[in-house]
Chains A and B, each alone.
Chain A
């Protein structure tokens, strides 16, 4: 019991007087945290299953290919086929992980905790977007790198070969970058509107499936009247861009004009980013 008069004991409680790292550091931390979260790092094992499964799906074929090539010695060019042929895996990755980044914070109402820090709402949205774009880039360009290194190791016999391989590889990387930016922006913009993860996932998948089916159906119309449909779905659109801008070989022969593709791609990306940022600016946390 107290004897009258008071004492405050020093239990080591101190004010923080050190340097405060500020907004830039906060944004970078959020970005890194988001990127780790997309791959399930720092989260329980269950959260790692899907992203790493997709990583395996993206990388394993390349590894197998290299093994085959080193055995047979013949070149099987694959730079052009990535990632279009694996679009389902990529779509699944985006659909599953975009909600990981966005919907969880909304559902558990932790946004006020973020917004009362030096970062602005726009910063938050863009940092998360950057994390997703980086992740998609990693899983689309990564396999190309593996393939490149494997090809160089097993098949290159002359400087001309090496230059050819390198050129193809770099074009593939640019293609991967286009994919990352467009798909990332689109997927994140869709996911930002759902509190429940599963619903966001379904929405992204829905957009992918319906737009692909729609695009495919229109393109099946006789003649070339349906070619514009390439612009309606993200993967055919990106494929179209690749053929035109990067002079790649087309996988199937429906093409639409370059200016239209570029315009639509830019428009979709810009609108998606704008929608994403605006969503977070107007969200009542």
Chain B
């Protein structure tokens, strides 16, 4: 973990227009929570699960996860980090930590606040969703950071993953949950909440936790290895 890399990453993330989106999205969640509170909504899964975890979390994680490394690799400023003796592992980990932390702040924290606003009588459930979102943030960011190194079209691939793999296919093919970050998140939330089917998930927590760990480990390893082979193309574009 290198403070210089982390510092630059943090500043780079908040210097662009992306920041507006990062703030806007959780605000929509909070607005929705307010509407729920006012309208007497009781379905926690819809607000915290479908909106918070299925819609909001992956999008924020995608914006942040591809932003911490992808942008630099794309425009060539990564060279200033890479043409130094800092181990590639340190670079990746530092960026990952910043990305995960920012995502947690912009998803899990609003999730918690929204839950408290809309469902003040169910603190344990709200906490469960928050914890799930926090872990989900970590896993998603790891995956998207790895994607940033593996391909130049990380955001497109990430979108495909979220929409097609997790969104579309998961409703048709039941086994997919094992490879879906969304399901890990929901499974963990379900386990913590003790609320059973109020939190729908297609995998058990016993599968979700180790799979999440494996995914993070694999993503980090891939990212580091590929970063060691980062190439600058021959003649400039």
Contact = CB atoms under 8 A, between A and B. Distances in A.
A–B: direct contact at CB < 8 Å: yes
Interface of A: 88, 92, 95-96, 197-199, 201-203, 205-206, 209-210, 212-214, 216-218, 220-223, 225-226
Given A210-B28, A217-B50, A218-B32, A202 B41 contact: no
Contacts of B46: 216-217, 220
A213 B54 contact: yes
Contacts of A206: 21, 25, 59
Given A88-B168, A218-B32, A210 B156 contact: no
Given A92-B164, A209-B59, 15 more contacts: A88-B167, A88-B168, A197-B156, A198-B66, A206-B21, A206-B25, A209-B163, A210-B55, A212-B55, A213-B54, A217-B47, A220-B43, A221-B40, A222-B41, A223-B39
Contact of A202 (B42, B55, B155): B155
A202 B62 contact: yes
Given A209-B59, A220-B43, A198 B156 contact: yes
Contact of B153 (A198, A220, A221): A198
A101 B8 CA distance: 34
Interface in B75-93: none
Contacts of B165: none
A210 B50 contact: no
A106 to B, nearest CB: 14
A90 to B, nearest CB: 12
Contacts of A220: 41, 43, 46
Interface residues on B, range: 20 to 34
A250 to B, nearest CB: 21
A68 to B, nearest CB: 19
Given A213-B51, A214-B32, A217-B47, A225 B39 contact: yes
Contacts of A199: 155
A123 to B, nearest CB: 28
Nearest to B40: A222
A28 B61 CA distance: 41
Contacts of B154: 198
A201 B39 contact: no
3 tightest Cβ-Cβ pairs between the two chains A and B: A198-B155, A213-B55, A221-B39
Contact of B159 (A205, A210, A222): A205
Interface of B: 21, 25, 28, 32, 35-36, 39-43, 46-47, 50-51, 54-56, 59, 62-63, 66, 153-156, 159, 163-164, 167-168
A202 B39 contact: no
A218 B47 CA distance: 9
A219 to B, nearest CB: 9
B50 A216 contact: yes
A6 to B, nearest CB: 38
Nearest to B237: A108
6 contacts: A92-B163, A199-B155, A201-B155, A221-B36, A222-B41, A226-B39
A205 to B, nearest CB: 6
A201 B155 CA distance: 9
Contacts of B40: 221-223, 225
Contacts of A96: 156
B63 A202 contact: yes
Nearest to B152: A198
Contacts of B41: 217, 220-222, 226
Task: Pick the most buried of A213, A218, A225: most chain B CB atoms within 10 A of its CB.
Answer: A213
A51 to B, nearest CB: 14
Contacts of B39: 218, 221-223, 225-226
A37 to B, nearest CB: 17
A225 B38 CA distance: 10
B35 A210 contact: no
Contacts of B159: 95, 198, 201-202, 205
Nearest to B21: A206
Contact of B42 (A214, A222, A226): A222
